Structure 1
Amino acid sequence: MGRLIKLLASLCLLASAPLANAMTAAEIHARIAPAVFPLELLDADGNTITRRSAVQVTATRLITQCEGLENAVRLQLEGAAGMRAVQLLARDDEHRLCLLEADSTAGATPLAIDTPLLAGAGSRVYAIASTQDFGVGIADGVIAGIRHGRDGPSIQFTAPLTRSAAGGALVDEHGRLIGIIDDPSYGGHNVSFAQPVTLLSGLESRAAARAADHARSSRAGEFIRNGNWDALEAMSAEWTAADPRSTQACAFHARAAAERGDWPNAEIRWRKLLALQPDSRPALAGLVVSLLRQQRRDEALATSTAALAGNDGDADLLQLHAGMLAAAGRTNEAEAAYRQVVERDPWQIGAWAGLAALAGQRGDHDAAVHIWARIGGLLPEDPRVRLALVEALLKADQPQRAWRNLARLPEAIAGTPAAIRLRALTLQRLGRTRDAVALLRDAGANAGDAGQRADALLTLSILYAKQQRWPQAIQAAGAAVALQPENDQARFWQAVHLKDGGRPQEALVITSDLIVRQAADVNAWRQHGFVLAILDRQAEAIPALRKSLQFDPRQTKVWGALIEALHAAGDRDGVRKACVTMREVDAAKADESCTGLMTLYQALPQ
């Protein structure tokens, strides 16, 4: 114990002793330069791609700056004893620091890493680094400040440097290593940066953690490509438990919940990611979608509005906000916002798609065609644009033009499930329904992931329904639901086919669930009302049909069903009022639905 106390006392005395006098530039160069080496990055033919510097920190290990190392096939050091090969041992991409392992010792005394406290602005510093073809040189300057960013602190200093200085040593006036010089191109004339030497501690463990994260990320990407959302959920849950502050893990965890239709949990996870990374656009978009899918439209709009505050120049955020305005039914504001986006960045396909969707909502399908044709001129090779144009042409009742565009698709696009689906729909519109069914039947079996197969089967079910082949339509829709049980669109069409195929009681089970999950969906309420009317449950059918008309009063077929339900329920006054309102929407259809009933009511005693 006595020896320990004496040792601690000695250390305290050393700590309190004043530092030695400052060294001259010549003394610093003589001491430091032997441990700093020019580093050559070579291609497969042995040609030099670029040169930089490396600092020896142990007998066989060196530190350098990572920029561009991934492009090199071989690395070699140039020293007094000639060229020596080195291997990349570990890389800390976050701080752009790489650890190298040499095949043999350099013979120089390694620089000590004693992590001194950083001096303040104005303190004298020296950069010792490679000077292209002129060996290892020295440049002096002063610390301009310690800059704190997301990656941690960095040292800003003044010194005129070339790019080959990257990876060199930054030392203080006492010859102590305080930083590794960053790529000078990050700064400007006489403005340079260095990563503090404190970051060298734990570099290997950080690199190992990053490698593990990269492996997890690769697995996550594979799960996403295969649509294996349960596996993504399990893996990302394990990852977030091991590293709660990993933004990657959190993003995958949120994506898994969203893809599985678990919107409350998706919301929680997107909010967690925003807490870790407040400026994450994917997290903002994910949060807004999660709120929308929970029918919390006002919160979704408020979230996008708040995100836009102070960032009105951000085209991505403005596009997100435009989508929220569209979802809230504020179509004029949404269109104005989308137009602002494309004025700032004409390459924003999502904004063009939003404008096309708004045009389609107001029935102007020719305008949607014009929009997609215009963006197709900007991005002629983009498959999304080509396929969107075909879809717009079908909605504009131009199947011949759609077919011509499909015939011009590149082979790589023509074989995709999305293109096959559009080809089948075009064949059906051209009167070749049998060919369309055969094409989709094969695509449903052979398409890539579950989502693609479900889309093919769902479209196949709709084509069967057009032929009134109800058993086949029900079977195809059921197969789509089996592939994606949380796909509400597939469940909707399954309910429609069950209703039209004479199985309304089974359809009712689905529509009853859909109006809970999609409480603001006009289509879900419409089908629920139709099914209840078929089952002669008019007291329940009437409010469901009225609910659908609240969302879209232009539905003449729903008005007709509501009038029939009111008549069956004996509500003459309700029938009269509905007929008056329907006449404002479509006088001809109102005459079809109401004339006979009004004549009957006049003949009956009041």
Structure 2
Amino acid sequence: MKKIVLLLCVGAYLSEVAAKALDSVEIYEQVQRSVTVLEELDDTGKPLQALSAIAVASDRAVTMCDAMSGTRQLRIVTKNNSFPATILARDGQRHLCLLSVPGAELTQIVSADVNQSIQSGARVYALSNALGLGVGISEGVVSGVRPQFGVNFIQFSAPVSPGSDGGALVDAEGRLLGIITYRHHDGQNVNFAIPAKWLAEIEQHDKSDIAYKQFRETAEQLQQQEQWQKLADHVEQWIVGHQNDADAWLWVAVAAEKIGNLDNEENAWRRLHQLDPTSSVAAAGLVSVKLKRNQRAEALQLAHELLSLRQEDADIWTIVGQTEQVAGTAAKAEEAYRKALTFNPWQLAAYQGLIGIAEQRNDQGMVTQLWQSLTALNPDVPAVQFKLAEAYIREGRPARAYSLLEKLTVPDTQKADTDFWKGQTLIALGRPLDATQAFEKSLQGNPTSKASVYAALGSSYFQLQRFPESIQAYREAVRLEPNNPEWLYGLALSLKDGFRGREALEIDAQLLKKFPNDAAVWRQKGFTEAILGRHQEGIKSMEKSLELDPKQGKLWVALIETYRQAGRDKDATSAYERLRGIDSEWAEKAYRSAILPFEESQP
């Protein structure tokens, strides 16, 4: 009898131990082996973004896949190694993906009883790759179970951040309750997870939802092929019977934006926002539409409302920065961009915004510094190195740019671009002949923009006063990009100096139809007309250019000389007096070339 009592006591003690809640250290030690870092890679193998994944077998993991493009390489990173991952099955409507990770030998997570009720106030822990810093743990409580899209999401208070998508929400015994979905983030320490029981249904949904899978595959294919009208038509047919499909509305917005249908784009973003008021993607889309409609105040209000959704989201801080920049509040824009970089140091759009602000301030040193930071983060990306070389050139340090390009190791596919930038550097170094050879070498390969190379070749030939070759190069650039005003202007300039003024005037007239207030085009038109002996027409064109931009000393001199040639001596003297008040150095040149000879010729 005593033995039975003893066994009962031991059994009760063991049950009590088994039910005893673990502390955060024990939870972390137990669960962290089952939560991994998931990286989405670009075409060069560089990480684009970091997410989280949960191991459900030794070679299987699950993640939230709405944040992934669907076409990129994936990689699971453990403490000791990394393994390529592929999407084995997708539950498209729930945004869950089952990943195949051969050879990873992952530790399967332990799930809670699917029939277990989730109590508000219960202690929970979030384990995820927050901010891409590796798997960490945070503690909170269940705030409640909230219905969204007809689904009961688990709302909890444990802090999460970008990168937490696909992480694990576990109970006080380390058992999986849900999969963290950061896209449903609704404010500070107000977060959501979807039920863990859905993990077992991914493959079933992948096989059974054939129509949705076909719709999605076709949409993704059309998007990759940039067939925007076909994508719009495809999604429109699907939407008729699936009004609550958030993914479909997102494709509607993307296609409409590419086609240029602003009304359809705004309608799609609004519908998406109605379906999921917590979606920062939808709100960002609406901000973009407001900016396109020049409704800056509304855009600014929406952008700042986004921050109530995700205070730690680099994308949202970047949107705020872009909106402030368009609104003309550069200081606030800069603050927002720098905030974005504290959360994601690789946020290219934030760097681009800061570079834009620095360029507006004509702070070329800061532009160079920002590109230096980007090259440090992306040392193997040639395009970023080329932008740094360009920054050095613009800062007046072409020798530094050339040294950078000489040391650069690039794949064969990008050697033509390297030659192009070497040519630009040689132009800045005052070596147009060497630059010409570099541009011609670039054209033998496959540069990113052949039109740009031909235009640069035209410029170097122009500096060598080889006008026929310059004209030919510019004509090729215009053939490749007919509507590029820079190439047309260069062609007109070469035609003028190549004694083909009538052809140059035809291009000037074409440019002035598009840019009637461009001082440079009026100036060149005036020069060309004067060369052709059309003094009165040339005077009118020069006067128009100076009306638009009075600080053109060389043009004032040309105008004064043309006044003399046209017999308008009083106008020449009057123009000279105006020039004295604008630019004394050019006034002195004008005096020597057009005023003094006239005075000496007087009796």
TM-based fold match above 0.5: yes
Deviation of 1:462 (Å):
0.7
Gap change, CA 1:389 and 1:142, over 3 Å in 2: closer
The corresponding residue for 1:247 is 250
Checking the alignment, whether the CA contact within 8 Å between 1:165 and 1:183 is kept in structure 2 is no
Deviation of 1:545 (Å):
4.1
The corresponding residue for 1:423 is 422
Checking the alignment, whether the CA contact within 8 Å between 1:240 and 1:250 is kept in structure 2 is no
Deviation of 1:461 (Å):
1.0
The corresponding residue for 1:458 is 455
Deviations 1:425-451 (A, max 9, x none): 2234445433322221232242255xx
Instruction: For residue 139 of structure 1, give the secondary structure of its aligned residue in structure 2.
Output: coil
The corresponding residue for 1:50 is 55
Gap change, CA 1:587 and 1:218, over 3 Å in 2: same
1:443 aligns with 2:449: no
Q: Which moved more, 1:344-353 or 1:535-544?
A: 535-544
1:218 aligns with 2:224: yes
Checking the alignment, whether the CA contact within 8 Å between 1:526 and 1:558 is kept in structure 2 is yes
1:207 aligns with 2:213: yes
The corresponding residue for 1:405 is 404
Gap change, CA 1:235 and 1:435, over 3 Å in 2: farther
C-alpha separation in 2, matches of 1:286 and 1:466: 45
Instruction: For residue 408 of structure 2, give the secondary structure of its aligned residue in structure 1.
Output: coil
C-alpha separation in 1, matches of 2:519 and 2:96: 56
Deviations 1:315-355 (A, max 9, x none): 42354346547xxxx7xx64774466336637432134224
Q: Which moved more, 1:513-522 or 1:495-504?
A: 513-522
The corresponding residue for 1:171 is none
Checking the alignment, whether the CA contact within 8 Å between 1:161 and 1:190 is kept in structure 2 is no
C-alpha separation in 1, matches of 2:579 and 2:232: 53
Q: Which moved more, 1:595-604 or 1:583-592?
A: 595-604
The corresponding residue for 1:183 is 179
Deviation of 1:139 (Å):
1.2
Gap change, CA 1:459 and 1:89, over 3 Å in 2: closer
Instruction: For residue 391 of structure 1, give the secondary structure of its aligned residue in structure 2.
Output: helix
1:345 aligns with 2:341: yes
Deviations 1:278-308 (A, max 9, x none): 74657866986x78xxxxxxx4877865665
The corresponding residue for 2:586 is 589
Deviations 1:466-486 (A, max 9, x none): 111112111111111222223
Q: Which moved more, 1:428-437 or 1:205-214?
A: 428-437
Gap change, CA 1:376 and 1:215, over 3 Å in 2: closer
Checking the alignment, whether the CA contact within 8 Å between 2:458 and 2:469 is kept in structure 1 is yes
C-alpha separation in 2, matches of 1:529 and 1:304: 44
The corresponding residue for 1:138 is 115
C-alpha separation in 2, matches of 1:190 and 1:252: 31
Gap change, CA 1:546 and 1:385, over 3 Å in 2: farther
Query: How do 1:539-554 residues align onto structure 2 when only pairs under 5 Å count?
Result: 541-542=538-539, 544-549=541-546, 552-554=549-551
Deviations 1:24-74 (A, max 9, x none): xxxxxxxxxxxxxxxx99xxxxxx97228xxxxxxxxxxx9864899899x
* TM-score, length basis structure 2: 0.59
Query: How do 1:264-279 residues align onto structure 2 when only pairs under 5 Å count?
Result: 265=260, 279=282
C-alpha separation in 1, matches of 2:372 and 2:543: 39
Checking the alignment, whether the CA contact within 8 Å between 1:495 and 1:507 is kept in structure 2 is yes
Name the % identity: 22
Checking the alignment, whether the CA contact within 8 Å between 1:307 and 1:317 is kept in structure 2 is no
Checking the alignment, whether the CA contact within 8 Å between 1:356 and 1:371 is kept in structure 2 is no
C-alpha separation in 1, matches of 2:572 and 2:147: 71
Instruction: For residue 115 of structure 2, give the secondary structure of its aligned residue in structure 1.
Output: strand
Gap change, CA 1:146 and 1:334, over 3 Å in 2: same
Unaligned 5+ residue runs, structure 1?
1-39, 42-47, 53-63, 74-87, 101-130, 167-180, 221-231, 258-264, 292-298
Checking the alignment, whether the CA contact within 8 Å between 1:160 and 1:189 is kept in structure 2 is no
Gap change, CA 1:354 and 1:192, over 3 Å in 2: closer
1:474 aligns with 2:479: no
2:594 maps to amino acid: L
Gap change, CA 1:252 and 1:476, over 3 Å in 2: farther
Deviation of 1:532 (Å):
4.3
Gap change, CA 1:189 and 1:583, over 3 Å in 2: closer
Deviation of 1:459 (Å):
0.8
1:559 aligns with 2:556: yes
C-alpha separation in 2, matches of 1:453 and 1:269: 35
Q: Which moved more, 1:373-382 or 1:459-468?
A: 373-382
Checking the alignment, whether the CA contact within 8 Å between 2:296 and 2:323 is kept in structure 1 is yes
Aligned residue among 509, 514, 518 for 2:511: 514
Deviation of 1:546 (Å):
4.8
Checking the alignment, whether the CA contact within 8 Å between 2:253 and 2:266 is kept in structure 1 is no
C-alpha separation in 1, matches of 2:340 and 2:88: 45
Query: How do 1:295-306 residues align onto structure 2 when only pairs under 5 Å count?
Result: 299=294
C-alpha separation in 1, matches of 2:353 and 2:519: 24
Checking the alignment, whether the CA contact within 8 Å between 1:308 and 1:318 is kept in structure 2 is yes
Deviations 1:505-531 (A, max 9, x none): 222333323233345544444434444
Checking the alignment, whether the CA contact within 8 Å between 1:538 and 1:568 is kept in structure 2 is yes
The corresponding residue for 1:120 is none
1:139 maps to amino acid: Q
C-alpha separation in 1, matches of 2:191 and 2:458: 69
Instruction: For residue 594 of structure 2, give the secondary structure of its aligned residue in structure 1.
Output: helix
Q: Which moved more, 1:552-561 or 1:537-546?
A: 537-546
Checking the alignment, whether the CA contact within 8 Å between 2:111 and 2:175 is kept in structure 1 is no
1:95 maps to amino acid: R
Deviation of 1:587 (Å):
1.3
C-alpha separation in 2, matches of 1:529 and 1:564: 12
Checking the alignment, whether the CA contact within 8 Å between 2:365 and 2:395 is kept in structure 1 is yes
Deviation of 1:458 (Å):
1.1
Deviation of 1:463 (Å):
0.8
2:484 maps to amino acid: N
Deviations 1:542-582 (A, max 9, x none): 56545544554433333334444555565556544543443
Unaligned 5+ residue runs, structure 2?
1-33, 36-52, 77-86, 100-107, 121-142, 157-168, 240-247, 274-281
The corresponding residue for 1:96 is 95
1:464 maps to amino acid: Y
C-alpha separation in 1, matches of 2:509 and 2:388: 36
Gap change, CA 1:518 and 1:597, over 3 Å in 2: same
Gap change, CA 1:497 and 1:204, over 3 Å in 2: same
Deviations 1:150-209 (A, max 9, x none): x6654448997599987xxxxxxxxxxxxxx85267799998644999x98994422221
Deviation of 1:141 (Å):
3.9
Instruction: For residue 183 of structure 1, give the secondary structure of its aligned residue in structure 2.
Output: strand
C-alpha separation in 2, matches of 1:494 and 1:532: 16
Deviation of 1:597 (Å):
3.4
Instruction: For residue 51 of structure 1, give the secondary structure of its aligned residue in structure 2.
Output: strand
Checking the alignment, whether the CA contact within 8 Å between 1:579 and 1:594 is kept in structure 2 is yes
Query: How do 1:307-326 residues align onto structure 2 when only pairs under 5 Å count?
Result: 314-321=316-323, 324=326
Gap change, CA 1:456 and 1:592, over 3 Å in 2: same
> How large is the RMSD of aligned CA atoms in angstroms?
5.2
Deviation of 1:212 (Å):
1.4
Instruction: For residue 468 of structure 1, give the secondary structure of its aligned residue in structure 2.
Output: coil
Checking the alignment, whether the CA contact within 8 Å between 1:239 and 1:249 is kept in structure 2 is no
Deviation of 1:460 (Å):
0.9
Q: Which moved more, 1:490-499 or 1:544-553?
A: 544-553
Gap change, CA 1:551 and 1:250, over 3 Å in 2: farther
C-alpha separation in 2, matches of 1:300 and 1:549: 34
